[in-house]
Amino acid sequence: MADTIFDVAVLGAGVGGYVGAIRAAKLGLNVTIIEKDSTLGGTCLNRGCIPAKAWLESADLLYHIKHAADFGVKVGEPTFDFVAVQERRQRVVDQLVGGVSALMKANKITVFNGKGVIASPTQIKVTGDKGESVVDAKNIIVATGSTPKTLPGLELDGKQVISSDHIWDLKAPPKSVIVLGAGAVGVEFASFFNDVGSEVMVVEFLPAMVPNEDKDVCTELERQFKARGIRCLTGAKLLPETLKKNMDGVTVEVEQKDGRQTVSAELLLVAVGRGAIVDGIGLENTKAVVERGVIKVDEHFRTAEPTVYAVGDAIGGIMLAHVAEAEGDHAAEHIAGHHPSVLDYNRVPKTTYTRPQIGSLGLSEQQAKDAGHKIKTGRFSYAINGRAIIHGETRGFAKVVAEAETGEILGVHIIGHNASELVAEAAMARYLEGTITDIGTSVHAHPTLTEILMEAALDADRRSIHFFRPRG
């Protein structure tokens, strides 16, 4: 293997890395992938989106069993077996990780287990259990991912003050938890712990929950969380210097505009974002530039070093697994001499798996206005959709933001049951350069939740059948 010169060496076997590797291999290139962890799949498969959604699925089932009598199904009081939940979560992870390993073999991708450090624009030094080796490659794709952040002065101890990396070691749900940060990670765990019986408080520095979403979605999520008994402190600053630990958990002061208060919980979960892994990987041995903590790339994900590409969380932007997939795919095609279309991030769907779910893409109403667009908006409620009523899931809405004259889709924002699936139609419409008229006049099956987006699109033109809004 020492004499082999690979066409592509991928540093990191997370979603962006392994997808890039597979695409490159399918295009006829000789590919290797280097991963420091003992398993492939990176954060998403091992300690991120997949295990989190496995937890949330168990919590969702618990919630629906508790409300089975509403549907005429009588069962005894359900119990929550956290050990069994953890075992199922691990089975899900193992199955998917095994699938990635099988794909590596099927596509004849050479896997190196060990820490990779870029030694030159065409070499990576790998240090593993079997010693050191040097991988030669014509091109390198950096897909090193990210790691949880914390606040200055707020040390993660992995026991009482934890990140999303530590959470999988829990032996039981905490009696109470403070979740610091109301982004996707924070609110998903807040939703889970509330459903399984924990007392939950969310502390968010910015003025709204899920602050990157449309304002109406932020308001709706906070309303529904509060109705579930989740305390939501927005515009709140947690003061790390006031943190105290004791046998029962932690106490810490939180400051809002009307003063300070001391809050306590068994556990403090820090979910204030993720930082790209760019240090210690040898970028200094290339011309690649790190700017504001992420690797700077062009529209084809190529760094200032022509043979070095970077994708996924390492380049910042929208830190989602499916975004990393698209970037890895694009980089591989570009290396192979193809001419892939530049990725339009405004057509990338974002999903949050709280109860209720959130699905969105593109610009919020305010962002569209700030960008100078003349807009029109439409909205439709789950409460008047037949399928939602049948499901017993009547809380939430779909909202569309469109260019006033052309009907071009600028943004779609859905909060409610299965929103993560419903947003796919909007993503396809945006990809095909469709308009809200295309969505609204396309015939949708009845009764389905998809009619919610159809009616929202019709409402933007004041044509909704099942929702009256005066013209003008």
| Token digits of residue 383 | 């409460």
Ordered by where they begin, the domains of the chain are 5-147+275-335 (3.50.50.60), 161-272 (3.50.50.60), 347-460 (3.30.390.30)
- Which pairs from 403-407 meet CB under 8 Å and 24+ separation? 403/373, 403/374, 403/375, 403/376, 404/373, 404/374, 404/375, 404/376, 405/374, 406/435, 407/435, 407/436, 407/437, 407/460, 407/461
> Which pLDDT belongs to residue 470?
58
For 352, phi then psi, to 5°, come to -130, 130
Residue-wise pLDDT for 372-384, tens only, equals 999 999 999 999 9
Q: What beta strand segments (E) does 374-416 contain?
A: 375-381, 397-403, 409-416
In one letter, which amino acid is 5?
I
pTM above 0.75, yes or no: yes
Least confident segment among 124-133, 367-376, 384-393, 436-445: 124-133
CA distance 368 to 347: 14
Q: What average pLDDT score do residues 404-422 get?
A: 97
CA distance 305 to 294: 15
> Which pLDDT belongs to residue 3?
72
The closest alpha carbon to 272, from 147, 145, 144, 148, belongs to 148
Q: Using only the alpha carbons of the chain, give its radius of gyration.
A: 24
In one letter, which amino acid is 12?
G
CA distance 143 to 199: 37
110-113/31-35 β-pairing: parallel
Residue-wise pLDDT for 140-162, tens only, equals 999 999 999 999 999 999 999 99
Residue-wise pLDDT for 261-279, tens only, equals 999 999 999 999 999 999 9
Q: Is 158 left (phi over 0), alpha (psi -120 to 50) or beta?
A: left
| Token digits of residue 72 | 């005429």
Catalogue the active-site residues: 446
CA distance 251 to 265: 7
Q: What average pLDDT score do residues 345-371 get?
A: 97
pLDDT-based confidence at residue 467 (cuts at 50, 70, 90): confident
Chain centroid, CA 157 distance in Å: 24
Q: What is the largest CA-CA distance in the chain?
A: 74
Residue-wise pLDDT for 322-356, tens only, equals 999 999 999 999 999 999 999 999 999 999 999 99
CA distance 351 to 362: 12
DSSP state of 408: B
Q: Is residue 31 predicted with pLDDT exceeding 90?
A: yes
Does residue 345 contact residue 317 with C-beta atoms inside 8 Å?
Answer: yes
